Amino acid sequence: MEEQRPLEPLLLRIENMKKAPLTGGVVVRNFVSRRIQPLQQRVNFGFEYLGANDPSRISSTKLPTKEVFRRVTRVLVKLEHR
């Protein structure tokens, strides 16, 4: 049981994430808002995102929410029409 103590915060976080709906739109929004290309080579794993200074970002400029929504919609509409 002692070995699990360091994992408790991670397990709690995973449990909370399971409760939130994960959709394709959520995943696309995540990549778009973080300014990371899904298939690019990264310095770290996607779940280890380091924030605004993450070296995997293609741009450090923050996108306005409306622009993120516009781009996500564009990607999802293209996928839907395949």
Rounded mean pLDDT for each run of 10 residues along the chain, 82 residues in total:
71 81 81 73 74 76 87 81 64
**What local confidence, expressed as pLDDT, does residue 15 receive?**
83
**What local confidence, expressed as pLDDT, does residue 4 receive?**
62
The label of the residue with tokens 């995997």 reads 56
**What local confidence, expressed as pLDDT, does residue 56 receive?**
76
Domain regions of the chain by residue span = 23-80
* CA distances (Å), origin 13, targets 20, 61, 81: 11, 28, 35
Rounded Cα–Cα distance for residues 77 and 82 (Å): 9
pTM: 0.50
Non-local (6+) Cβ contacts of 72 within 8 A are 25, 28, 29, 32
**What local confidence, expressed as pLDDT, does residue 66 receive?**
93
> Tokens in use for 65?
């929410």
